[in-house]
Structure 1
């Protein structure tokens, strides 16, 4: 067993570890709102999210191809494997930092930032137009769409149920949140698990194990299981931020925010094949729903801290990845 193959195995293990951290880091996206409105208990919500994440990860590989083949040109040989390894280190470290402080930053952008940072450190070509089209533009538009649709959808719900019995309506929306939570987790699996599939497939191409960028079935299954296991492990720090600190939602508001966010995630994965941030979309959908009460109902200070985390994620993960590449390259050569 040569050194290159051992390096490939190490990268696959690290990639699945990233997928696991992605699961517990972003589990709150799917369940925080349902838990905060008491539609589901934390463990029931986590179990539902884990299963739906698994199903979502098995549906498509279009986002995986965008991440693995659309951000940087596929590197080859030992340097290529070092680059992929460093990108994963950058993403994992940033995930752990933001998880520790309870900030719902984007695992997707951490991974993409890691790829770019490692590629620049290795003096490898970066597809800047691909980053603009597939990362930067969706990064700006998706949260705005989430906020706008969240606001409009909640207005439609309030108008439709304006004459309904409040107690019965609350109970009905709590039940509806079970379905919307499952849809959220499905969209999360269609987005975030595929990013790890893309990285592992990129490593396989780099190592010469496969000739074209077609995601093998074992990669799909491994990534799906890893993100589901991570989701079930939970992300209670971030759950508190999304579920309560931005705004305390009603069951109707929770249903509205989750329905909008899941719709945007599934559409971007299936129609446009772009790796959007599930965290960005979820947070801005919650803010849009909350703004229907009054703008002051949203805790904009907390939202501002989250936006700062979004802005620094790409360069911060990239910087860590670049450092990891320099260290790895100095050791391995």
Structure 2
């Protein structure tokens, strides 16, 4: 019982960090265009993250059962402990340097590394792991392309509606951004909070505290609350990188980016796929920015982010493997 309490505490800490690490991306565009004040944006995101988190559980079941089988892993609680320590360390490191890295990538990579360390290569469900990784890889490309098309379409609609002053257009899209930022925050909660839920369920099943992969209501409420609290803290370093260092965000492309991200994240949630909110939102911003002016994007910053995205899963696999061996390898 003490062991499972420690695991639940670590999972909720991961969710709390995820709240201020990833949710910053969800509100960055609205804050940068002054559609919402930082305080209001954070409070709104916290509430909608909570609501989104308690309404879905498909992603949680996928994370909890697709990478390894908790019913046939004798040391599942040790594996989850190493997974969470690894994911928390990487999230804190990238947050400290203001890099919008992916909590999803580090959690999936860490789980794979811990499973290999604790149960061997054969215990890893390569099919499920590859399916999840494929979704994580493809979603940024889809977000970029859809973001590009979304802004082109919106600009054509504005053009058809007639000549309007730039000031009036910006005011209208700032109002729309309030809605789109809310939808994006809800979508983030619906997808991201479930990852911690899945990890907790994995540990509960492995420790014989739960008999199937369904998510208990107390797990939903705890994970949703933890993410909402993390969101309320805010992630200003991440907000600054996403909202200012990639491209100057205007209300129109901010709205288009939010709408694009919502579509991609909700699609992933419906399919039970854990997507990276960070990658989806950032790629949407790059896509809409490219539709305006390709050269206006700070490709140096984008390159550093992409490099972090590429190395996160392999580093997380290695980090979790080493952590497992250091803590439990001598038993």
TM-score between the two structures when normalised by the length of structure 1: 0.95
Note if contact 2:141-2:283 (Cα within 8 Å) is conserved in structure 1: yes
Q: Distance in 1 between matches of 2:286 and 2:296?
A: 9
Match of 1:130 among 128, 137, 161: 128
User: After alignment, is 19-28 or 313-322 more displaced?
Assistant: 313-322
- Alignment counterpart, residue 144 of structure 1, candidates 138, 141, 145: 141
**Alpha-carbon contact 1:89-1:320 (below 8 Å) kept:** no
- Matches of 2:137 and 2:318, distance apart in 1: 22
Residue equivalent to 2:66: 70
Q: After alignment, is 35-44 or 121-130 more displaced?
A: 121-130
List structure 1 segments (4+ residues) > 6 angstroms apart after TM superposition: none
Give the alignment of 1:99-110 within 5 angstroms.
Answer: 99-110=95-106
Using the alignment, how far apart are the partners of 1:182 and 1:71 within structure 2?
A: 32
Question: Residue 243 of structure 1 aligns with which residue?
Answer: 243
How many residue pairs get matched?
Answer: 326
8 A contact 2:75–2:206 mirrored in 1: no
Partner of 2:293: 294
Cα distance in 1 between the residues matched to 2:51 and 2:234:
18
TM-score by length of 2: 0.96
In structure 2, what is the Cα distance between the partners aligned to 1:121 and 1:21? 25
> What does 1:45-60 align with in structure 2 at a 5 Å threshold?
45-60=41-56
Deviations 1:275-312 (A, max 9, x none): 01111110110000000122111111111100011111
What is the distance in 1 between the residues matched to 2:150 and 2:94? 30
Are positions 1:159 and 2:156 aligned together? Answer: yes
**SS of corresponding position for 2:291:** coil
Contact between 1:99 and 1:238, CA under 8 Å: does it hold in 2? yes
| TM-superposed deviation, 1:168 | 1.4
Deviations 1:113-162 (A, max 9, x none): 110011111133111111111x2221222111100111111011111112
Q: Deviations over 1:207-240 (max 9, x none)?
A: 1011111110000000000000001111000100
Q: Quote how far apart the aligned CAs of 1:58 are.
A: 1.1
1:275 aligned partner: 274
Q: What residue number does 1:39 align with?
A: 35
Q: Summarize the Cα distance change of 1:77–1:154 in structure 2 as closer, same or farther, 3 Å threshold.
A: closer
Q: Name 2:319's counterpart in structure 1.
A: 320
Q: 1:119, 1:259 → 2: CA distance?
A: 37
Structure 1: runs of 5 or more not aligned = none
Instruction: Report 1:174-193 matches (<5 A).
Output: 174-193=174-193
Aligned-partner Cα distance in 1 for 2:164–2:307: 40
Distance 2:110 2:137 in 1: 19
Q: For residues 286 and 293 of structure 1, what CA distance do their matches in structure 2 show?
A: 11
Could you tell me how far 1:81 is from its partner in structure 2? Answer: 0.9
Answer yes or no: is the 8 Å Cα contact 1:261–1:285 preserved in 2: yes
Aligned-residue CA RMSD in angstroms?
A: 1.2
Q: In 1, are the aligned partners of 2:100 and 2:305 still within 8 Å (CA)?
A: yes
Provide the C-alpha distance between the structure 2 equivalents of 1:73 and 1:305, rounded to a whole number of angstroms.
35
* 1:75 CA displacement: 5.7
Gap regions ≥5 residues in structure 2: none
CA distance in structure 2 between the partners assigned to 1:252 and 1:328 by the alignment: 50
Q: Distance in 2 between matches of 1:90 and 1:314?
A: 11
* Offset, 1:330: 4.3
